[in-house]
Amino acid sequence: MVSQELYLCYHGLLLPNIAHNEESLNFFETFKFRDDDILAVTYPKSGTTWMQEMIPLLLNGGDLTPVESVPNWDRVPWLEETRIAHVVDKLSSPRAMVTHMPLNLMPPAFFSSKAKVIYIARNPKDVLVSSYYFHQMASFLDDPGTFEEFTDKFLAGQVLFGKWTEHVKSWKNADLGDRILYITYEELIQDLRGVLQRMLGFLGRELSDDVLNQVTEHCLFKNMKQNKMSNYSLVPSDIMDSNKSPFLRKGIAGDWKNHFSPELEAKFNAVIREEIEGTGIRFPWDEE
Ligand code: PPS
């Protein structure tokens, strides 16, 4: 059972009350997209905060001022959260925003716009681990229980924004042509500079080698972890307690190996495989 005090249910998806309400969801549904808008789309814990750091730097020629002076949630706001109504008019063009919504819940105006999308996927086993610790540190989320119990909830989609497989299937099957760029968290870990370069090409921007090197350095986990505008240290500890687990926790690929028993891994893989089967969707981690 999940507490109604903590969550609201939106088209079957659980969203935390702390950041969503009827008004914010109405704002989302009637959002007026512009053709030059840029959206980073993620299932939770897949690299959202990383995108909120990278995209402004790629768009503004590597100027660190916004990422060092504006909190990530106001700098690149969530389309569906309450904050956006307060900051949307202050966003400079092209506007960069994030969303955790699956494609089927995107508002009609999104489909008739030319807004660009960067979709970031992450190994669902690492998503689960990251989310498990997030539930321990965030007082606005329910107690995750044991790791095994939380795994069952994750596989059943009784977690924020529903099933990982539904999210991935919706966006990977999106008929958006060259409006969408697909990247993975694991590619960012392996070759951050290379992916930043791909993102630049997609956004139609250029940076000198030196500036790209500086942006890459700034976006490394160890450096972003120190940025109080991005590490959630501005949030009071009774809401997010970094002593229990920091928001920027480990920042690696493969931490799931420290958490899954062979039995749990087999069960997890079987469920995910069955739900992805027949879609043609393949990820690098499928081979692990
Ligand atoms: S949320 O709550 O949905 O906005 O979370 P999200 O930002 O999508 O995901 C949080 C995880 O992303 C990791 N992260 C990074 N990893 C590597 N390098 C950088 N720069 C970086 N920035 C954020 C963050 O540490 C969380 O993953 P875990 O595995 O918990 O460390």
Residue nearest to atom 4 of ligand 1 (CA): 48
CB atoms within 10 A of CB 6: 16
264: CA distance to ligand 1 center in Å?
A: 23
Indicate whether residue 99 lines ligand 1 (CB < 6 A): no
Specify if 234 maps to a domain: yes
What integer pLDDT is reported at residue 131 of this predicted model? Answer: 98
Q: Do 122 and 186 touch, CB atoms closer than 8 A?
A: yes
SS3 assignment, position 241: coil
pLDDT surpassing 60 at residue 192: yes
Residue 222 lies in a domain: yes
Does an H or E element contain 121, and which? Answer: strand 116-121
The pLDDT, as a whole number, for residue 242 is 97
Let me know if residue 1 belongs to a domain: no
Pocket lining: 248 vs ligand 1, CB cutoff 6 Å? yes
Q: Mean of the pLDDT values across residues 80-84?
A: 98
Average pLDDT over residues 49-77: 98
**Which pLDDT score is estimated for 3?**
74
Pick from 164, 189, 248, 250 the residue to mutate for probing ligand 1's pocket: most ligand atoms within 8 Å of its CB.
248
pTM over 0.85? The answer is yes
Give domain status of residue 279, yes or no.
yes
* 2, part of any domain: no
- The whole domain housing 50 covers 7-287
Is residue 39 one of the residues assigned to a domain? Answer: yes
Among 20, 100, 135, 167, the one annotated catalytic: 100
Q: What is the CATH number of the domain that holds 97?
A: 3.40.50.300
pLDDT at position 66 is 96
| Phi and psi, residue 160, nearest 5° | -55, 130
Question: How far, CA to CA in Å, does 193 sit from each of 83, 217, 229?
Answer: 31, 9, 22
Query: Would 37 be classed as within a structural domain?
Result: yes
Q: Three-state DSSP class for 122? A: coil
Q: Which atom of ligand 1 is nearest to the CA of 42?
A: 8
pLDDT tens, residue by residue, 90-106: 999 999 999 999 999 99
Q: Are 179 and 103 in contact (CB under 8 A)?
A: no
Closest CA to 247 of 4, 57, 72: 72
> Nearest C-alpha to atom 22 of ligand 1 is from which residue?
50
Q: Give the Å distance between the CA of 188 and the centre of ligand 1.
A: 11
Cα torsion at 38, 154, 246, 99 (round to 10°)? Answer: 10
83 lines ligand 1 (CB under 6 A): no
Is the CB of 46 within 6 Å of ligand 1? yes
Encode 95-114: b = buried (16+ Cβ within 10 Å), e = exposed: bbbbbbbbbebbbeebeebe
Q: Which residues contact 130 (CB under 8 A, 6 or more apart)?
A: 45, 249, 255
**Ligand 1 and 75: CB distance under 6 A:** no
Total tally of structural domains belonging to the chain: 1
| Residue 11 a catalytic site member | no
* Structure confidence by residue, pLDDT tens digits, 215-246: 999 999 999 999 999 999 999 999 999 999 99
pLDDT score, position 219: 98
Q: For residue 207, give both structure tokens.
A: 């940076």
Residue with CA nearest ligand 1 atom 19: 221
Residue 2 is predicted with a pLDDT of 64
Q: Is the CB of 140 under 6 A from ligand 1?
A: no
